[in-house]
Amino acid sequence: MRFLITAGGTREYIDPVRFISNASSGRMGYALATAALKAGHEVTLISAPTALKPPAGATLVAVESAAEMFAAVKQHFARCHCLIMAAAVADFTPASPSKTKIKKEGGLKPTLRLKPTPDILRWAGRQRRVCTAHHSKIIVGFALEDRDLHANAERKMRDKHLDMIVANTPAAINATASILHIKPIDSDWIKINESHKTASSRRIIRETERLFRQQ
């Protein structure tokens, strides 16, 4: 299979030196890329800024903003068998970023206006096409929820036409191990008790392989 995996937290620039971002470390996306490679698959890794070293064998596409990530996904989507959106993509971006550094002078109180970023998962769900004679693309999303974990994740899965969703809580941010909940489209929730992201990523890849084979 050919996997397209996103990782890391995007940066939405306010001015040339300041940006809005999040606490994502990129560990899950990089662990998924490593697991897919070890399972014998081809991997393109679209990564927002992170301190991690890309896994050997992956094709790395470096991006910063949500718009750049969307452009990269669109560029590589047609060729993939599976898209896993593990990146923490910003929901909003500055509507009019300053071209020069904003200075704190003269009692100025700047106002930051935001606009929504592109919904990459929704686009992918609408764009899926048959990728072999017998298979369609598998689309996997992530949901970070601080309440009603399963209900909110299942709503996202339906709205964005996903084949599988992986749900977790804010406790997973920047952690090396976490509890994950996986919902394939054809079965009930699977709970992975707290384990290293290396182990949980292997389970996610296996479920993705199963969904692809069973079409």
Residues serving a catalytic function are 22
The per-residue pLDDT for 196 is 84
For residue 22, the 8-state DSSP code is: -
Q: Which band of pLDDT confidence, cut at 50, 70 and 90, is reported for residue 183?
A: very high
Residues, the chain, total? 215
Q: Does the pLDDT value for residue 44 go beyond 80?
A: yes
Q: Of 164, 76, 84, 89, whose CA–CA distance to 119 is shortest?
A: 89
Q: Taking the CA atoms of the chain, what radius of gyration do you get in angstroms?
A: 18
Which tens digits make up the pLDDT trace of 6-31? 999 999 999 999 999 998 999 999 99
Domain-wise residue ranges, the chain: 2-94+110-213
φ, ψ of residue 206 to 5 degrees: the values are -60, -40
Q: How many CB atoms lie within 10 A of CB 4?
A: 26
Give me the CATH code for the 2-94+110-213 domain, please.
3.40.50.10300
The beta strand positions in the chain, using DSSP E, are 2-7, 12-13, 19-20, 42-47, 59-62, 82-85, 92-94, 114-116, 138-144, 164-168, 177-184, 190-196
Q: Which residues contact 205 (CB under 8 A, 6 or more apart)?
A: 32, 35, 36, 39, 41
